[in-house]
Structure 1
Amino acid sequence: MTVQDYIELVNEAYKERGGIAGQREPLKTTSAKRIRKRMVEDLLAGAVLPPVVIGKVVDDLASLDTAGALMTAISDEDKGKLSIIDGMQRTTALLEAFAESEQVIKHRLLRVEFWIAEETESLIYRMLVLNTGQVPWNLSRQLQVVYAPLVAEMKEKITFDRVLEIQGSNPERRTKAGQYRPDDLAELFIAFGLRKTDVDTKETLADEFSRLDMAEALSSHLYREFFYPTVQMMVDLDGAISRLDDQLIQPNGDDETDGKKLVGRNVFDSKPARIGFVVAVAIAVMGRIGMEKDKDQHAMEQRIKAIEDGLTQLTDKLGRMDAEGMNDFLRLGVLQQQLYGTKRSAVGRYERAFFENAFKILIEESFDIPTLETCWRG
């Protein structure tokens, strides 16, 4: 398409940093400005850029059987829903060249690739497979490129209180149950696929095993079937144990510990708790990587249904409790002592393993426990 048509197509997505939460903004370092200035000069002189890549999720892929139908699908709705998957800096250079000399460049042809899918997971799968071997891409970066549509899909399938806005000068903070940052939701996506809490999102994707594990899970649709229900259960449990926060006065457990006293919301304020819950459910349903349980889909569905039923019974039980009953059941003072009563090295790793084990006990006991002290001291 012409440069003018491309700019009109992606302008809204560009203003939203590529239509991708976490996508790099136009680079502003001195060296980046010098490189982009040279790129603009080259464009005006007739240089051809490598293709830019645009991502789009559609409802009916089969209907896009002609180029015209494709362009209609891309153009007939909010263009802000497009994602600039690859080419943010090139788009910046094109905009600068367009502003500097519109008549010279607007009719130039630019190659644009469209990656179209009916499901967000298919786009993620393509990113994981097609970027194999590229460094310094890491797991976090891979997901940043596509997690805006992932989070949009999660909003449709999961009942959050809200997904927090983290862009801009005043990022929102979690103030009640059911509120989460989009990048934290993306990290849950990683942990669920790898089925381990010790996920270093800074590690490069030279770890091919992690790449393959996620690609296999995506291609077998395990995410669509089990990831969203797992996160919904986490949200439900978060809400249930936070219900009476305004009335709760926590005992500190067996001994006094330093620091503030926990309230119910604080449990899932913690990233280790969120990851621990998701990983515990993933392992209970699918088994650990390399020693998977029965891969029969029906058997997995039965296992997650049993977990959902157990959690529903627990949340109903919590819903009938008064403040004193909630206090006694949650035993947040014991949790606080277990987590913060002793100084440790590698605190984050310890907390993730702690919560995975705690929720593993909860699942193994079918959520039928006298108090959560059973989990906190397990």
Structure 2
Amino acid sequence: MEILSSAIYDKKIQSYNIIMELSLIEYYEFIKSSMLDNEFQRNKVRSSKTIYALLKQDLITGCVIPPIVLAMNVNIDEEERNNLDLVKKIIIENKRNIFILDGLQRTFTIQDICIDVEKGYIDKSALANPVRIEIYLGLNKEGVLYRMLTLNTGQTPMNLRHQIEIIYSDLINAQNESNFRLIKDTESENLNKLGFYRFSDAIDAFTSFLENDYLQITREKLLSTIKSFDNLSKLRNEADLFGDLMTVYTLFINKVVNAIGDKDIKLDISRENQDNLFGKNAYTIFNKSQPLTGFGAAISRLIELETYERIKDLISNIDLIDIDNLYEGILNLLVELNEIRISSKKIGNSQRCFFYHFFRIYFDKRGDYFLSASASVKQARQAYDRDN
């Protein structure tokens, strides 16, 4: 392993970039632990007729391929950047803390070569062939996401949601100071506990926040999503956008619990409709992808409109929520969601649309219906009808 240059500072994403050269076997040993640890890592492209089959032969014969781009959330300071021995030591000691920004399929191809050498299918001399890598040091998760998007738009990219899964997978079941916990989908028995969310649902919320859209991203929208990071860059002084979003949402759900309790809700509707309510208590109403995505997109929109400067600015408003008004509003919300269920052809998207409008109106401190749940539900239904 050889560092070929001193670190160059990337002003856009506030990170140091370093060029290194390794042999194929050195690179594989360097990267394999981080590849194995992340269950959300994109799968290998499996087709003998793809360009990757040709790439494998090129690497075996010693072809020089474009650098693989990695990121490591380990900081170095101004003095350390020119001490190449120290930088190398820092990189080696933190090799489990790596994201592959660009070059995952090249990495899989190198892995195949190493395995084939071990099995005796390929001469071991191929392992000495060089590969160059770029490493971004000190890149936070928002910066990782930005670089992943900009580096992969020219190919068949992972969708934004998948990339966010990879970057934030370390938060599953992690302790934090914000009183929320992300759990795997298989641990659904914990979903009736305040502050527990499916990791996939929380990812939906954050994706919607970044996209400013409650619907899933399309390839045509990817470029505008990248551009949106220019607007989000002013929030970079926040330590954790993801955590802040889930913290505010958890505080809101806590208010809902105080308003309606944890007992099943009974409405003056038919037995069939009662059995098909969107949710029967505080947890089952709001601990789902539809309200989470609606919330994420709504808060993003309010920040875009400069109603709030940061996500955290909403926290002070949670204390102002009137419990009685919230209780009445939630009952009305369930009635509207029931009517949407009956009339909609795409129920999930329709519910996301309704929640988006509800949260956007409810938390709009410049609007006429700020923290008025009943009025916000009524206005959200009118906005939903206009959209549909």
What's the TM-score once normalised by structure 2's chain length? 0.72
Unaligned runs of 5+ in 1: 288-292, 319-324
**CA 1:247–1:120 in 2, change beyond 3 Å: closer, same or farther?**
closer
Residue 337 (structure 1) shift = 2.4
| Farther off after superposition, 65-74 or 229-238 | 65-74
Aligned residue in 2 for 1:165: 184
Query: In the TM superposition, what are the counterparts of 1:125-136 in structure 2 within 5 Å?
Result: 125-132=146-153, 134-136=154-156
CA distance in 2, matches of 1:356, 1:37: 45
Aligned residue in 1 for 2:137: 116
**CA 1:221–1:57 in 2, change beyond 3 Å: closer, same or farther?**
same
Aligned residue in 1 for 2:31: 10
8 Å contact kept, 1:191–1:275: yes
Residue 143 (structure 1) shift = 5.1
8 Å contact kept, 1:165–1:172: yes
CA distance in 2, matches of 1:225, 1:360: 24
Percent identity for Structure 1 against Structure 2:
17
Query: In the TM superposition, what are the counterparts of 1:153-232 in structure 2 within 5 Å?
Result: 159-165=178-184, 171-173=186-188, 175-176=191-192, 177-197=194-214, 199-201=215-217, 203-205=218-220, 208-212=223-227, 214-221=228-235, 224=238, 227=241, 228-232=243-247
Which whole-Å deviations, capped at 9, do the CAs of 1:43-95 have from their partners, x for residues lacking one? 33334443222111123453333333332222213x33211222333223322
8 Å contact kept, 1:61–1:117: no
CA distance in 1, matches of 2:81, 2:268: 62
What amino acid does structure 2 have at the position aligned with 1:300? E
Aligned residue in 1 for 2:41: 23
Which whole-Å deviations, capped at 9, do the CAs of 1:303-357 have from their partners, x for residues lacking one? 953x32220343xx76xxxxxx89x926655333211233212323322221122
Aligned CA RMSD, in angstroms, stands at 3.7
Residue 273 (structure 1) shift = 0.9
8 Å contact kept, 1:250–1:332: no
CA distance in 2, matches of 1:223, 1:278: 19
8 Å contact kept, 2:262–2:281: no
8 Å contact kept, 2:68–2:102: yes
Q: Secondary structure at the match of 1:9?
A: helix
Which whole-Å deviations, capped at 9, do the CAs of 1:240-288 have from their partners, x for residues lacking one? 434699851311245551534511112223322112223333333431x
CA distance in 2, matches of 1:282, 1:151: 22
Q: Secondary structure at the match of 1:80?
A: coil
**CA 1:368–1:191 in 2, change beyond 3 Å: closer, same or farther?**
closer
8 Å contact kept, 1:310–1:367: no
CA distance in 1, matches of 2:236, 2:112: 44
Aligned residue in 2 for 1:329: 327
What amino acid does structure 1 have at the position aligned with 2:81? L
Which whole-Å deviations, capped at 9, do the CAs of 1:215-246 have from their partners, x for residues lacking one? 21233235837944333110222244346998
Query: In the TM superposition, what are the counterparts of 1:67-106 in structure 2 within 5 Å?
Result: 67-77=84-94, 79-101=95-117, 103-106=124-127
Residue 98 (structure 1) shift = 1.9
Unaligned runs of 5+ in 2: 1-21, 119-123, 380-388
8 Å contact kept, 2:67–2:131: yes
CA distance in 2, matches of 1:269, 1:129: 32
CA distance in 2, matches of 1:222, 1:95: 36
8 Å contact kept, 1:125–1:219: no
